Chain A
Amino acid sequence: MKIVVNNAHLIDPANGVDEVTNLYITDDCISHIGTEALDHFGADQVIEAEQRLLIPGLIDLSVYLREPGQEYKAKIATESEAAVSAGITQLCCMPEPDTTIDSMPTVDLIHKISSQQGKARINVIGAMSKELQGKQLTNMGGLKHAGCIAVTNQRQAFTSTYTLRMAMDYAATYDLLAFLHPIDKELTGRGVVHEGAIATRIGLPGIPAAAETVALAQIIHLAEELNIPVHICRLSSAKSVEKIRAAKKRGTRITADVAAHQLFLTEMDISDFNPLCHVQPPFRSQRDLDALRAGVADGTIDAICSDHQPHEIDAKLAPFQQTQPGISALETLLPLVMRLSEETAIPLNQLIASVTHNPAKIIRSLQGDLQIGNQADFTLFDKKDHWQLAIAEFISQGKNTPFAGWSFNGRTAMTFVAGKCVFDRSVK
């Protein structure tokens, strides 16, 4: 199968490409890029892509697929379909207390289901401790062997700083990158929103920024002492950005990500008890949001992820504290990143790198760019498609998004994984 995409505005941050050109695909790989027509190519399919961006497929560092175990929330099939419809071609499946990926058979099962039903590439992140209880280490050597690309203890606390240190060190034995959430359990307490004037006004228990910075400082010190790389998941506060910036300056091998919604929403958005804005870590102040954006701008924050957490409707139908945190976010990742380029001075190339090339580097994926010879994972983004987010059109099984009604300029028209079209809006 030979495909040519003509006259696309190709942006490939990894290779410094930002121009209107043609992309040639032979079977599953990119075979040529260039403005001059290849006469002898003999394409089976020609895609005219004027006014469209052609970017590498997005790599999402954090997705809760909910399967196996919580199929009432979401399934691998539905969520990977939602992913490719929004330009995401590769995603990292996170373990969680009800879907603990702490043994090889679970990893195998997820790989099996995704190879049968998945449209996107699915990488599995294993648990660092049995049932994520933070006590007994998992068989990380086995998890690595089963194909886990990293390990995490998700948002669950380790029972002691000692166990955290050991878990980090043991993971490094197998060259497994630790994805760590900086959350101090005690300082978080029963908190559900950012500690501040809004929490005070509406009487919801607050989570101080120190719940993040204290845990972050701990992780940074341990990583520096053990001399191992570490990836910090989901920053929410200005002080954390500062800490990461300083650690990077010192030469610590540290990378960090932020959820896209943290770059758009603040504590103000929960002032009407909006359960759709119940997330962990919580939306913080405008000052924190500005600092997160600055962190993305100067590269302190390497990657933007969706932190996709689809829920059944009942999970959000209760008083705020009783609702489950998380946003169904696959389908808003690219729209929000594009919106960020409209709202800030951050160059589009850099923002695209934060959802493609940078996450690829973190998980050492071969994807995330448009290198000739690489498997052709890319998405065509129609800049002229102005649309408004409607829940009825949401593909994810989880309808829990606070962005319903938001308007966006441009959206995914087609998505390819390994040279195969996995999504085409025109035939939907």
Chain B
Amino acid sequence: MDSNLSSMIDLSPGPLPSSLQLTREGKLRHFLTIEGLSPLMLEEILDRAEQFVTLPNKNQSKAPLLRGKTVINLFFENSTRTRMTFELAAKRLSADLINLDINTSATSKGESLLDTIRNLEAMNVDMFIVRHQHSGAAHFIARYAAPHISVLNAGDGHHSHPTQAMLDMLTIRQHKGAFPPLKVAIVGDILHSRVARSQIHALTTLCAGEVRVIGPRTLMPVGVEAMGVNVFHDLYEGLEGVDVIIMLRLQKERMQNALLPSAHEYYKRYGLRKEALACAKPDAIVMHPGPSNRGVEIDSVVADGSQSVILQQVSNGIAVRMAVMSMVMSAQSGKLK
């Protein structure tokens, strides 16, 4: 019985996430990670997202691109913003969307991830939007899901959050145009941040002039330089002359794990306040993936200031997710343009 079982399920991990997410023709089939995607592919996502960006106060019309498709929000980890923007994106593309509440679903009764996936597949769904606390979860699902299903990674462990990175790129492009002359600083808890990892991959792929990461040594992952960034431990030094500042959220539990002494000291050393912002270029923009902790990593004056583009990031989030959803569905069915 055991040997039958093993011949049925292939244990080998399959291709790298970066190649798993492309069709043989090089189209986007899943969206798992930025790593390995070409600059052209990223530009295509941004161009397409640009078409979906709507102006405020303008009536939202639905595009029929995902009509008849069923999308499942599969969030194994809490999220408000990402989940809602995916939901809005799916609805604006005319898809049917189901939010699966993991806390009350079979997973909390001990069902394995693979069984959950198999059961949902049996309901003829077309797309999974996955958030999971473990790195590689979206890759795992993409590897074992039926061939007609696309998987969008809405954040896996500390690994990747590709749609967040792309909405950030869109926001940067809207303000700054081309990437090569830009200096971008990412500030805060790099160690635990999937957002930072995806942003770094996106920025280096799009040939940003310089990517800096700024934070205390305890929140800096070992060997991060290998990803093509310059490491700074002093906020003022790191922000010198940058065009874009991306602040990361600091989780409260970091103080309990001896990674940091106190929120107070963190705010003093790494919180973005007016004086620190003054080190950057005068027209530098300030970004934050949200939800932000005012008074911990960012001062209200800065978060609400003229250089802040935080709310624009949120609206871009819907456009980018619409773009990616329509791209993977067209790669899957070949029916859409």
Q: Using a CB–CB distance below 8 Å, which chain A residues touch chain B?
A: 195-206, 208, 271-276, 312-314, 316-322, 391-392, 397, 399-400, 404
Which 9 A-B pairs have CB atoms at the shortest separation, nearest pair first? A197-B223, A203-B159, A203-B158, A273-B136, A200-B221, A197-B226, A319-B134, A319-B137, A274-B13
Q: Which residue of A lies closest to B136 (CB)?
A: A273
Classify chain B: how many residues form its interface, as a range.
35 or more
**Judging by beta carbons under 8 Å apart, are A272 and B226 in contact?**
no
- The listed residue (A198, A204, A392) touching B158 by CB distance below 8 A is A204
B156: interface (CB < 8 Å): yes
B3 and A392 within 8 A (CB) = yes
Contact indicator A201/B197 (Cβ below 8 Å): yes
Beta-carbon contact of B132 and A319 below 8 Å: yes
Min Cβ gap A187→B in Å is 12
B162 within 8 A of A: no
Closest chain A residue, CB of each to CB of B221: A200
B135 within 8 A of A: yes
Chain A neighbourhood of B13, CB < 8 A: 272-276
From known contacts A273-B17, A313-B9, A318-B140, infer whether A200 and B224 are also in contact, taking CB-CB under 8 Å.
yes
Name B residues whose Cβ lies closer than 8 Å to a Cβ of A: 2-3, 5-7, 9, 11-17, 35, 112-114, 132, 134-137, 139-140, 144, 156-160, 194, 197, 221-224, 226-227
Interface centre among B5, B9, B16, B136 (most CB of A within 10 A): B136
Residues of B within 8 A of A208 (CB): 222
Q: Is the CB of B17 within 8 A of A272?
A: yes
Contact between chains at B156 and A272 (CB < 8 Å): no
A314 touches B113 (CB 8 A): no
- Residues of chain B within 8 A (CB-CB) of A312 are 2
Q: B222 to A204, Cβ gap below 8 A?
A: no
B191 nearest in chain A by CB position? A200
Task: Tell me, rounded to whole Å, the shortest Cβ–Cβ distance linking B6 to chain A.
Answer: 4
- A197-B223, A200-B221, A204-B159 known, 8 other contacts, Cβ within 8 Å: A202-B136, A202-B159, A317-B11, A319-B134, A319-B156, A319-B157, A392-B3, A399-B11
Which residue of B is nearest A197, CB measured?
B223
Q: Which residues of A contact B137 (CB under 8 A)?
A: 319
Ordered by A's residue number, 28 sampled pairs between the chains whose C-beta atoms are within 8 Å are A196-B222, A197-B224, A200-B224, A201-B226, A202-B135, A202-B136, A202-B159, A203-B135, A203-B159, A203-B160, A203-B194, A204-B136, A206-B222, A272-B16, A272-B139, A276-B11, A276-B13, A313-B9, A313-B11, A319-B134, A319-B157, A320-B136, A321-B135, A391-B7, A392-B7, A397-B2, A399-B2, A399-B6
